[in-house]
Structure 1
Amino acid sequence: MCEVRTLITRLREKLAEDAVLEEADVLDDYSHDSWPVATVWSKLGQHPHRPDVVVRVDSAAQVALVLEEATDLGLAVTPRGLGSSVTGQPLPTRGGIVLDLSALVGPPVLHELDRTVTVPAGVRGSDLEAWLNQRGLTLNHFPQSLARSTVGGWIATRATGQFSSRYGGIEDLVTAFTAVLADGTVCQVGQRPRAAMGPDLKQLFIGSEGTLGIVTDVTLKVFAVPETTLVEAFTVPDVDRGVTAMRELIQAGLRPHLLRFYDADEARHALGTADRGLPALFVGHHGHTELTRVEHVAVTRLLVQHGAVSLGPSPVEAWLARRFDFSTVEKLLAQPGGYAETIEVANLWSRIVPMYLELKEQLQPLADEVLGHFSHVYDQGSSLYVILLGQADDDTEALTRLEEIWRRAMEVVVRHNGEVSHHHGGGLARQPWARQSLGSGHVLLQRVKDALDPQHTLNPGKLGLGLTA
């Protein structure tokens, strides 16, 4: 492809020699992320989303340069951080360039009075959290991928974390960032601390998966490390009462930083030796000592009214020690014929339990274990996280199972008028349902895309956008 050769020649004149990569093994590596389907593709030697070239950048100026050249030559650009996406966001649908942003790193800049920190977009989440902890601060943003994801990736995928019931998702924690548009234009968006001058333009890019612009630096809120933390585990008689208890406590204005409710199948994993054959609910409260104690008493009283029985703090403390461990899924995927999937969706309180029940029914024949938990809670509804673990005869059959799992799960969620993604984004996994999920709102998204990226340079094929140039 002559455009690719021209691009390689131009960029090698302007960037470091090792910044432009076209070796076959490198291109193979960049055609996969952490999506279980992509993992099985790799095991089978399949590379259906292979780039033509990989370009590594280490500054916003280099990002702008690459985008200018790509737009000029009509080549697609797919941004990539650390490749920890579990739905295929950084996998190209039209070849072209994979733009590796993982070297966009540098020292954080702390704004102590404003309680914010500014970092380049390629900074690893765990590195930033450790830096803040040394100063008595924390992000209070803890995705399971904290040690394998970047702050820029959090913006692109509209990420959320394990303490979201109190602190919200990344959309609530980011105050400003810089984005580079498809033609190389650099935009800084943010509010100080709120504004009424037009819409909040940050929200235009949060969750856009690199289809509208590429984030190069981010300013986030930071918090004092909590003075006191109290945690407790409970058994609950059934799913209905557990979900009702969560709804009542959150609608009463109580805001535990940790709130996770496991069905009986997943409770066996969550509780280990403490398993009672019942659903389990984990709660945690932190902050000012007196306020923390009062909230803990209020939440406990409400849970007991719904039949909850305390198991003490130990199960939650054990979970906190292993909460970033993804090895169960990875070890199963590494076995011949092994497969695993994690699908997070959401719905209103009035629809979440019926959707949960149908998901369990529809997915049960496709895996050895189908586990479910509710872990991000809002006044109007909750997320639902479904984990599937299975063993097929071989990897080809495993791939077939994973594809059917996605089809059935998305059809159930759409049927219940739920959200097909709560915090992992759409990527390739949810691409067939993107327009159906967004409904008439997709027309607006398409018009924004056409205005900001008329050649469909940026991550085409994601969010139902740019499938054809």
Structure 2
Amino acid sequence: MADISPLIAALKSALPPQQVLTDSDTLQASSHDTWPLSTKLKRLGCHDYQADVVVNVTGEQQIQQVLALATAHDTPVTPRGLASSVTGQPLPTRGGIVLDLSTMSQQREINTTNMTVEVSSGYNGGKLEDELQQMGWTLGHSPQSLYQSSVGGWLSTLATGQFSSYYGGIEDLITAYTVILASGEHIRLKASPRAAMGPDLRQLFIGAEGTLGVVTSVQLKIFPLPQTRLFDTLELPSVEAGLHIMREQAMAGLRPFLLRLYDAAEARHAMQNPQQPLPVMFIGTQGIDGVARAEMDALMAIIQRHGGRSLGCEGVQGWMQRRFDFSTVEKRLDTPGGYAETIEVAHNWDGIASLYHALVDILTPLAGEVLSHFSHVYPQGTSMYMILLGQEQDDRQAVEKLRRIWQETMNVCLAHNAELSHHHGGGLIRSPYARQSLGSAHLLLRRVKQALDPNAILNPGKLGL
């Protein structure tokens, strides 16, 4: 890249100088998110994806100024929220500017009549959920990273939450948002409550990972807190029995807010019982009391037909209390030579079981523990998590093992024609596989990119772009 000092000088002239950061600690921090591989590289002092300058912006006008200067100096811009990504979305592959959106003015507007809330894109999701719950409302969106992630990040990575079987993914929860294009143009995308004037353009930037524009504010649905919640923990004879239950309840049109199937290996962690011998399922229904109870009865009838046995509520309620806890992975990563990874994929009903067995077979030699659960259910199929915990002699060997785990997993998923990501997005780690995964649709993505970002300055190196 050419000398960046003229750009830095121009940024300091256009913005308050204290918002334009070039100190070593800030630049090194820009090279990492919460991706396990990035965490291990940080321990090794490797900062491969590092900005030349970090700009803390407070509003849309400043974003427009930064983009105008970046275009004039032909310098890439990587938007960054709270950096809770676990696949490397906010890491700058070509240096340049990291645009820190977490410093934007915190704005919030609640409309209880229309049941919406609008916030600035850097708003912390857990903070927003707590504020809403104090008023008797909920977002319905509950990722494990709730208290570490931003609302704009949810949109940009096509996130989903633990209760998606009831509320849907982020694409179902967004009603409107604003985005600034690389050209600096300000765009408002909405449908109130639905619109039929051409294609639904709101979908264009959802999951785009900042490659097409910079999201500045998001309007989301809100829901009244449920009157009743019911829970149960079930022990099942096999993973296949659990998958049959998931498919049949979807076919019956049930809407449990919680539906999680753990294989025997992960069930021991989920139940906090090292002697747990069989897969378990956590279930929950909610809503008006009569509806919640009727759905629980209908779901239990399906479960019992497939050999499920109730273990009571203790297991699932314990999980509800610790469902934002990521410490098992964090502690392992903070151990010399320790490694851990969570890879989520998705597949149709006719392929998910064979994909599960294939991944367990190929990953078992690569980790001390290989755990799996299924947690987001649709009429056509389900998502699947593979969680790996292992130990090598040092961090360099751990890094190599993590890279091999990803390579093996992606290759198996491509061979099975599965979806390579369900809700963690593509980021850096999946970008090499994006074109093969999307197939001919990647041509459309490239055409859209060319139209909206002709100089290719926005978050290069992601989604196979």
Which residue is 1:25 aligned to?
25
| Aligned equivalents of 2:209, 2:2: Cα separation in 1 | 28
* Residue 260 (structure 1) aligns with: 260
Match in the other structure for 1:189: 189
Which amino acid is 2:269 matched to? H
Cα shift readout 1:38-83 (whole Å, capped 9, x = no counterpart): 1111111111111111111011111111111101110000010111
Correspondences of 1:193-342 after superposition (within 5 Å): 193-273=193-273, 276-342=276-342
Q: Find the aligned partners of 2:274 and 2:446 in 1 and give their Cα distance.
A: 50
- TM-score of the superposition, structure 1-length normalised? 0.98
> CA separation in 2, counterparts of 1:5 and 1:201?
38
**Residue 447 (structure 1) aligned with residue 447 (structure 2):** yes
The number of residue pairs the alignment matches comes to 465
Summarize the alignment of residues 380-391 of structure 1 with structure 2, pairs less than 5 Å apart: 380-391=380-391
How many angstroms does 1:295 deviate by?
Answer: 0.5
Residue 107 of structure 1 and its aligned partner are, at CA, apart by 3.6
Q: Distance in 2 between matches of 1:65 and 1:301?
A: 60
The within-5 A match list for 1:133-212 is 133-212=133-212
Query: 1:276: Cα distance to partner?
Result: 3.2
1:274 touches 1:315 (CA, 8 Å); kept in 2? no
Unaligned runs of 5+ in 1: none
| SS of alignment partner, residue 429 of structure 2 | coil
Output one character per residue of 1:67-102: Cα deviation in whole Å (capped at 9) or x when no partner.
111011100000101111000000111110111100
CA distance, structure 1, for counterparts of residue 314 and residue 165 of structure 2: 21
Q: What is the rounded CA distance, in whole Å, between the counterparts of 1:14 and 1:144 in structure 2?
A: 38
- Describe the SS at the equivalent of 1:189: strand
Residue by residue, what CA displacement relative to the aligned partner does 1:264-295 show, whole Å, maximum 9, x if unpaired? Answer: 00000001238531000000011111110111
Query: What one-letter code is carried by the residue in structure 1 that aligns with 2:410?
Result: M
Answering whether residue 89 of structure 2 is matched by residue 89 of structure 1, we say yes
Separation in 2 of the partners of 1:229 and 1:4?
56
- Whichever residue aligns with residue 129 of structure 2, its letter is E
- Kindly state the Cα deviation for residue 218 of structure 1 after the two structures are TM-superposed: 0.3
1:433 corresponding residue in structure 2? 433
- Tell me how far apart the structure 1 counterparts of residues 4 and 227 of structure 2 sit (CA, whole Å): 55
Amino acid of the structure 1 residue aligned with 2:323: R
Give the TM-score normalised by the residue count of structure 2: 0.99
- Letter matched to residue 292 of structure 1: A
Cα offset for 1:3? 5.0
1:117 alignment counterpart: 117
Question: What's 1:38 paired with?
Answer: 38
Q: Distance in 2 between matches of 1:279 and 1:237?
A: 7
* Superposition CA RMSD, Å: 0.9
Q: Distance in 2 between matches of 1:273 and 1:38?
A: 31
What percent identity do the matched residue pairs reach?
55
In structure 2, distance between residues paired with 1:319 and 1:107: 33
Distance 2:290 2:274 in 1: 30
1:461 is the counterpart of 2:429: no
Aligned partners of 2:439, 2:430: CA distance in 1, in Å? 14
Q: Distance in 2 between matches of 1:261 and 1:364?
A: 20
For residues 347-376 of structure 1, what are the alpha-carbon distances to aligned partners after superposition, in whole Å with 9 as ceiling and x for unaligned? 000000100100000000110000000000
Gap runs ≥5 in structure 2: none
The answer to whether 1:78 aligns with 2:99 is: no
SS of the residue corresponding to residue 430 of structure 1 reads helix
Post-superposition offset of 1:329: 0.4
46-55 vs 99-108, greater mean Cα deviation: 99-108
1:7 positional shift: 1.6
User: Secondary structure of the residue that 1:290 maps to in structure 2?
Assistant: helix
Give 1:126's aligned residue.
126
SS of the counterpart of 1:311?
Answer: strand
**Counterpart residue number, 2:98:** 98
Q: Conserved in 2, the CA contact under 8 Å of 1:125 and 1:148?
A: yes
Q: CA deviation at 1:419?
A: 0.4
Residue identity in the other structure for 2:459 = N
1:431 maps to a residue whose letter is: S
Q: Determine the C-alpha separation between the residues in 2 that align with 1:3 and 1:135.
A: 52
**Structure-2 change in CA distance of 1:308 and 1:105 (3 Å):** farther
In 1: Cα distance, 2:110 partner to 2:51 partner = 37
Deviation at 1:2, TM superposition (A): 5.3
